Amino acid sequence: MTTPVNRRRFAQLAATPVLASLAGVGTGAATASATNTASATNTAGAAADTRAEALAAIRRAAVFMDEHVSCRGGYVWACRPDLSASWGELQANRTMCWIQPPGTPSVGHSLLDAYHATGDEACYRAAERTGLALAEAQLPVGGWNYVHDFAGEASLRRWYDTIGANGWRLEEFQHYYGNATFDDAGTSSSAQLLLRLYLERRHPRIKAALDRAIRFILRAQLTGGIADGGWPQRFPAVPGAVRQMPWPDADARPPWLPADVGHGMADGDYTGHVTFNDDVLGENIKFLLMCVSTLDRRDLVRPVRRAMECLRRLHQPGPQAGWGLQHLSRAAGGRPAGAPAAARSYEPRALATHTTQTNIRQLFHYFRLTGDHTYLRRVPEAIAWLESCPLTAEQVADNPLLAGRTHPTFVELGTNRARFVHRFGSNIRNGAYYFDHDHRATLSHYSAGRAIDIAGLRASYAELRSLSRAEVADLRARSPLSPGGPIPLPRYFSPKDLDLTDLFREAVPTLPTVTEDQARALVADLGAKDHWLTPSTAVTNPHRGPAPSTPYLGRAYQSTHVGDEYDTSPYDPRTPPAEPPYQPHQGEAVISSATYSGNTAKLIAHVAAGRS
């Protein structure tokens, strides 16, 4: 459909001398004009055909995922085409759905995007069924665990006691707590999908689940002191949660292990600390702002502002003016509330460069939301700290896993030296993680280095500082924090990660550019089978029973995604450990939720561009 703007533009072009004089030109020119017109018509027709094929492909893929791949509307990360095996972050039962993206909520967003692109009720029904699956998976407290098993609690506990307990590097799955998590945006992405679905049709079951999610996020928000406004990694707290990972006896540790290494969870159960890891605070703020904008929930403005203030308060003093993955929510072990805290056993007590970069960008957003220069005041200190602790050329040259990285992931408190994480052993029972200052033989599953865009941070800071009072006032007026009536959500969620600025009044979220050839290739790849196949890059060992505690003193598993045959952690079959019985091989073809969402997003972007 031609928009009013396009109609005006067409009228302007038709009135130009070039178009007006075409009727009086010579025969040759008229013939050339006719040829050009025919060519343009053919091109436009081909583009229209491609858009029509893309729309049909979007619908067919959505229906296939709903009718053939889902379990009661829920999704894992990948499965065999015959559904004989499934995987989330670990191997999954067919009766499971994964809440962590790119699982159930991610697919649900793509299905709802498919409905917005096509207008087809089959796509909406698929999205709604996924929303209802999330409502069923929602815990009584109102949030979500990483995973849900439709077969019931006993089945889920068996999974935790077998597959989960033997995933060496996946410590969050080694113990079943029964509470909800904010990690990996599982709860926030689920809540966002429920909000979008409720706004579509006002479904009462969706409304009830949405209300529970909002209450959960508010209940979980920490109150009082320096941690006020932050969120823990999990809620509610579980008495008896694991406070320390096992550290093998001296005779089980390899002789090459340095004597002075640090190890374990130095600050105990990390799930109650203020969490910045995976942008927990930023994701919760985003969801609450969506509710402010669309539901006129002005009561949620104060929790948002408290969260913003928490991030600002936990900014550490110079010269190490950064943030950690987690911070103590209360004083412990002689350390004050707000101090950087250790988390999992491969996340030492330290400042984190990538978290600091994320939080600086959050401060930029908070300034745009409020116009308050306080949020920018200490940004130069944070950038200066990042400039003080880059990786050295020697460190990058010595360790292939640091290629393309500018900074260490972790920086030691006080000394400003890089901390690197390693492991020894071969499985959860005979191995452990440790950290020191040696930059070699680091983990492959948790990067020892990060790419920090200092120039980009400086440019954004300079741009915001240069805004005039009128420009700042305009930002504040368009902010979802400012009264002014409802603000519709962006039409599509899957083509890009939404920033807080995408929620502003009159914001126009950008979509990726997808050419006609790329769209045709995606349609052709979908084919008559109605699904895309992807070579798997994550396979797992089957559960073989409890891992043996027999000491392993070699180095074969120091920098691998998986340990011995008893380790249920996923790994790339093309690069397995250099230890029998592993042999490199290509991964089998699987139906991937991430591939479905990514390809659907590209087709939607192509169709949307054709309509503009």
* pLDDT score at 47: 82
235's enclosing H/E stretch is strand 234-235
* pLDDT score at 44: 64
pLDDT band for position 18 (cuts 50, 70, 90): very low
User: How many Å apart are CA 127 and CA 54, to the nearest integer?
Assistant: 19
* pLDDT score at 611: 79
* Arithmetic mean of pLDDT, 387-410: 98
User: How many Å apart are CA 131 and CA 248, to the nearest integer?
Assistant: 45
* Arithmetic mean of pLDDT, 365-375: 98
* pLDDT score at 612: 65
Q: Are 390 and 406 in contact (CB under 8 A)?
A: yes
* pLDDT score at 43: 62
pLDDT band for position 42 (cuts 50, 70, 90): low
Burial classification of residue 518, based on how many CB atoms lie within 10 Å of its CB (0-12 exposed, 13-18 middle, 19 or more buried) = middle
13's enclosing H/E stretch is helix 4-14
Written in H, E and C, the secondary structure of 109-161 is HHHHHHHHHHCCHHHHHHHHHHHHHHHHHCCCCCCCCCEEECCCHHHHHHHHH
* pLDDT score at 41: 58
Q: Which tokens go with 3?
A: 């928009």
* pLDDT score at 46: 76
Give the rounded percent of residues in the chain with a pLDDT score beyond 90: 89
Write the pLDDT tens digit of every residue in 300-359. Answer: 999 999 999 999 999 999 999 999 999 999 999 999 999 999 999 999 999 999 999 999
Residue pointed to by tokens 């996946």: 170
User: How many Å apart are CA 236 and CA 229, to the nearest integer?
Assistant: 16
Residues 6+ apart with CB under 8 A from 389: 353, 407, 408, 411, 416, 418
Flag whether pLDDT at 558 surpasses 80. yes
Q: State the average pLDDT for the chain.
A: 92
Q: Are 186 and 146 in contact (CB under 8 A)?
A: yes
What's the predicted TM-score (pTM) here? Answer: 0.92
In Å, the largest CA–CA distance within the chain is 98
Write the pLDDT tens digit of every residue in 414-466. Answer: 999 999 999 999 999 999 999 999 999 999 999 999 999 999 999 999 999 99
One-letter amino acid at 176 equals Y
Crossing angle for the helix pair 280-295 and 353-370, to the nearest 10 degrees: 20
Contacts made by residues 25-32, CB under 8 angstroms, sequence distance 24+: none
3-state secondary structure of 420: strand
User: How many Å apart are CA 572 and CA 586, to the nearest integer?
Assistant: 9
| Tally of CA atoms within 13 A in the half-sphere of 199 that contains its CB | 20
Q: Are 176 and 160 in contact (CB under 8 A)?
A: yes
* pLDDT score at 1: 35
User: How many Å apart are CA 478 and CA 481, to the nearest integer?
Assistant: 8
Write the pLDDT tens digit of every residue in 165-205. Answer: 999 999 999 999 999 999 999 999 999 999 999 999 999 99
* pLDDT score at 610: 82
* Arithmetic mean of pLDDT, 87-114: 98
3-state secondary structure of 199: helix
Q: Which tokens go with 577?
A: 């450990």
Flag whether pLDDT at 498 surpasses 50. yes
User: How many Å apart are CA 389 and CA 412, to the nearest integer?
Assistant: 10
Flag whether pLDDT at 31 surpasses 70. no
pLDDT band for position 24 (cuts 50, 70, 90): very low
Beta bridge partner(s), residue 78: 87, 592
